[in-house]
Amino acid sequence: MVTGLNVRVLQYLDEHEAVDTLHLAELFRVEHQKVVGAVKSLQSLGDLVNVEPLIHKKWELTDEGRAVAENGSHEAVVYNAVPSQGILQSELTNGLPNIKVGFSKAMSCGWIKVTRQGNDMLVTRKVATITDTVQEHLRHIQAGNMSQVDEEQKQEYRKRKLLQEVIIKSYLLSKGKDFSTSVEKAESDLTVEMITSGSWREKKFKPYNLDALGVAPACGHLHPLLRVRAEFHQIFLEMGFTEMPTNNYIENSFWNFDALFQPQQHPARDAHDTFFISNPRSSSRFPPEYLQKVKQVHSKGGYKSQGYGYDWKIEEAEKNVLRTHTTAVSARMLYLLAREGFKPSKYFSIDRVFRNETLDATHLAEFHQVEGVIADYNLTLGDLIGTLYEFFSKLGITKLQFKPAYNPYTEPSMEVFCYHAGLQKWIEVGNSGVFRPEMLLPMGLPEDVNVIAWGLSLERPTMIKYGLNNIRDLVGPKVNLQMVYDSPICRLDKNGTLQTDVQMMEQRWNAIISQLEALHAELQELQISSAGTENVFQEADDKNIEFVILSDPHYPPYSVVILSKLLAGRYRTEISTHVHSSVSVISSDLQSFFNVPLDSGTGSYVKIKLIWKNVGKDPLLIQCPISNGTIAGEVNIARYLNRLLEQRPDPVLVYESKGEVFGGQVDTWLDCIYKSVIHGSNEVCSGIIPALSAVLSKQDWLAPSMSIADICFWSSLKQNPHLLNSTYGLKKWFEKCQHVWFT
């Protein structure tokens, strides 16, 4: 039978409709947790009682708050410590607790004042008497008179750590459908004794819970790092790559450094960056002809390169190291590819590398490197960027940034960054670039063959995917085994891979559909709630559009001229130019900034006012009447104007209407232009301009067809004519664009 506290709970509930367990604990004078235990016991007997969880919030004083309620607030203590004739500040601060807070609060309340006296400060009373409101409020709260203190004051005391909000969980009990004050406890086990004596016939047994989980079988679990590695591996195979052999953890310096055109004096070859092997210390198995070519290009140059001009030593090349990157494996494969007769190839590898680095939240001395190499004719930096975007999008990582960098064996070179939501910052995940001719031609590869390559960390994308902030939570003795346990092992289907592949495809498709539905819901919500730019786009056919552009005369937005000309062919357009009083002198060409022939459009009316004003590099677009927010930056204004164009049938310039892939490419180039050309330092700008020029030497436009990315890049070049001297091809492209847009 149910006895003790359980019976008391049932008897009380028999006389009342409902009761809170907190009230029962107070009534029975027992700990609340014991009452909760009794309730849980009653729940296990069936539908005796109905249980509803409750949450109570209450304010209570902290230890510091209780001291203030007893002795007075910190500011009152400071005031009372100041005698009528005053006291030196140095003497006042000795021995008083919380003097810094108390002194500051007393000053802000206007209770005391400070005047200089010699080399010290004299503190005197500013008022004759004070009322310690803080102490009064805390005493009210301590006594339970919460209504005497408003919420704003409570929050203020909470910030001062005098008050804390306590959450108490309890349960509301009511009678269940099988309620009774006399209940026999159901048996959970059928024992041998019950069968022998026959007592089981009179016993009541608990019903089987067929939904209960059994004991989990002991089995292995796949570490998240290995799961992401398998995912990387599968993605590479889907993209047509072949895996390279990576069984050499130990490499000689020739393949690890020299074959990559990395000079023997490079800092990366120092002991503080590289682990050198003590036994065996060196190895001397090199292809002799290739060795001589590498020595030649290092010391004297060749292949249209002047080399490094130093005395190359075979002893340095023979030193054995723990490989610092798997690019040494790529060098071996490219050399083998050249010897067997070149054909376009894609290679990848995923394996461990070793660096003599200081351990921190994002660095380990041993980590995995994902290496990718594509060798083909006439490859460009654009091919590399596109490949990296495709690769990471398959992983679900869409926020990427590329920054110019220097590598001895690639030119141009880029660092690859991913956004880590947990750390709230961009973290570097790898390096990439186009292999230099000084590395490829000594191998025997044809001159018109380019090789794009990248080395990416495996650990950092895994941290992003699993939301880990510290790499030591992923690898090492601090790894939480429960995290590994929650990442179940992958099992092969005995019926073959077809069913598994179909299931995976369905899961990916369902995920895509869910994302699209969520995006659609967000767009509908924006259409309903937004009174800004979105409404202009939707109603472009039904309403007139007016906006003002504030632009600095030192940075004329030439892209606006081109886009306004295109707008004039689709809308009835009025354009005017004005000068703000902050600008004293304006050149004649800026006064007639829109002095270009405009076509006569039809339909809605667009009115543009350009005002020259000292606003800096980023022009501002303000809608009339003023809506929520301002559009800042030339590239963002270009996006806005292009969207207006796309509201018309057969737009002359496409952007988002051509699809997500094309729109994403245009956005990538616009971000690159904004960060590296418009706002980049001279060093960054000089690094990115040759890369952009290289892309335009292979194709007419930055994206597959003409876009606002080309218009904004052309505008930035016109603002900075010295950039046109970087390459001859860039100047030709600039002149071609001017001919297309102004003739």
- Overall average pLDDT of the 296-301 stretch: 84
Using alpha carbons, list the distances in angstroms from residue 526 to 263, 638, 740: 57, 21, 37
Using alpha carbons, list the distances in angstroms from residue 56 to 21, 141, 156, 422, 727: 12, 16, 21, 31, 71
Both tokens of 626, joined, read 């003023």
- pLDDT tens-place string over residues 469-480: 777 778 777 777
Confidence of residue 599 (pLDDT cuts 50, 70, 90): very low
Both tokens of 596, joined, read 């270009």
Show Cβ contacts of residue 672 under 8 Å, excluding neighbours closer than 6 positions: 402, 688, 692
pLDDT above 50 (res 163):
yes
pLDDT above 60 (res 263):
yes
More confident position, 404 or 420: 404
Burial 192-215 (b: 16+ CB within 10 A, else e): eebeeeeeeeeeeeeeeeeeeeee
Confidence of residue 710 (pLDDT cuts 50, 70, 90): very high
Bond prior to 619 in cis (omega within 30° of 0): no
Residue 492: the pLDDT is: 31
Residues 133, 137, 138, 140: is their CA dihedral positive or negative? positive
3-state secondary structure 195-234: HHHCHHHCCCECCCCCCCCCCCCCCCCCCHHHHHHHHHHH
Cα-based torsion angle of the residue sequence 561, 563, 564, 570 in order, rounded to the nearest 10 degrees? 160
> Which residue do the tokens 């590399």 mark?
384
Using alpha carbons, list the distances in angstroms from residue 220 to 223, 489, 493, 538: 10, 7, 17, 55
Chain Cα centroid distance, residue 743: 45
Distance CA 44, CA 39 (A): 9
Q: Which of 119-133, 188-202, 529-543, 621-635 has the lowest mean pLDDT?
A: 529-543
Q: Which of 218-222, 364-368, 484-488, 655-659 has the lowest mean pLDDT?
A: 484-488
3-state secondary structure 115-174: EEECCEEEEEECCCCCCCHHHHHHHHHHHCCHHHCCHHHHHHHHHCCCEEEEEEEEEEEE
Helix (H) or strand (E) holding 107: helix 99-108
Residue 627: the pLDDT is: 53
Other Cβ atoms within 10 Å of 508 Cβ, number: 11
- Contact (CB, 8 A) for 227 and 237: no
Both tokens of 695, joined, read 């892309």
Residues 735, 740, 741, 743: is their CA dihedral positive or negative? positive
Distance CA 323, CA 269 (A): 11
- Contact (CB, 8 A) for 239 and 488: no
- Contact (CB, 8 A) for 243 and 509: no
Distance CA 666, CA 657 (A): 12
First to last CA, the chain: 99
Q: Which of 279-288, 489-498, 690-699 has the lowest mean pLDDT?
A: 489-498
Helix (H, G, I), strand (E, B) or coil at 431: strand
Q: Where are the alpha helices (DSSP H) in 345-445?
A: 381-394, 437-440
Show Cβ contacts of residue 576 under 8 Å, excluding neighbours closer than 6 positions: 594, 608, 609, 610
Percentage with pLDDT > 70 across the chain: 87
Residue 373: the pLDDT is: 92
Burial 244-263 (b: 16+ CB within 10 A, else e): bebeeeebbbbbbbbbbbbb
pLDDT above 70 (res 16):
yes
- Overall average pLDDT of the 74-82 stretch: 90
Burial of 655 (0-12, 13-18, 19+ CB in 10 A): buried
- pLDDT tens-place string over residues 376-391: 888 888 888 888 888 8
Using alpha carbons, list the distances in angstroms from residue 97 to 33, 63, 64, 103: 38, 14, 11, 11
Question: To 5 degrees, how large is the angle CA 130–CA 134–CA 137?
Answer: 120
Q: What is the DSSP letter of 363?
A: B
- Overall average pLDDT of the 127-147 stretch: 89
Residue 516: the pLDDT is: 64
Packing angle, helices 74-81 and 99-108, rounded to 10 = 80
Distance CA 688, CA 405 (A): 10
Show Cβ contacts of residue 217 under 8 Å, excluding neighbours closer than 6 positions: none
Residue 541: the pLDDT is: 44
Confidence of residue 464 (pLDDT cuts 50, 70, 90): confident
Residue 535: the pLDDT is: 41
Distance CA 161, CA 62 (A): 7
- Overall average pLDDT of the 395-402 stretch: 80
- Contact (CB, 8 A) for 685 and 723: yes
Confidence of residue 513 (pLDDT cuts 50, 70, 90): low
pLDDT above 70 (res 500):
no
- Contact (CB, 8 A) for 719 and 556: yes
Residue 3: the pLDDT is: 53
- Overall average pLDDT of the 446-468 stretch: 82
Distance CA 659, CA 669 (A): 16
More confident position, 667 or 543: 667
Residue 2: the pLDDT is: 47
Q: What is the DSSP letter of 595?
A: -
Distance CA 733, CA 714 (A): 9
Q: What is the DSSP letter of 258?
A: G
- Overall average pLDDT of the 189-216 stretch: 84
Using alpha carbons, list the distances in angstroms from residue 649 to 4, 564, 608, 654: 82, 17, 22, 11
Q: Which of 541-545, 572-576, 692-696, 725-729 has the lowest mean pLDDT?
A: 541-545
Q: Which residues pair with 599 in a beta bridge?
A: none
Confidence of residue 267 (pLDDT cuts 50, 70, 90): confident
User: pTM to 2 decimals?
Assistant: 0.41
Length of the chain as a residue count: 743
Q: Which of 475-489, 497-511, 538-552, 602-616 has the lowest mean pLDDT?
A: 497-511
Calculate the average pLDDT of the chain: 81
Residue 636: the pLDDT is: 92
Which DSSP string corresponds to 640-676? HHHHHHTTSSS-SS-SGGG-HHHHHHHHHHHHHIIII
Q: Which residues pair with 431 in a beta bridge?
A: 415, 455
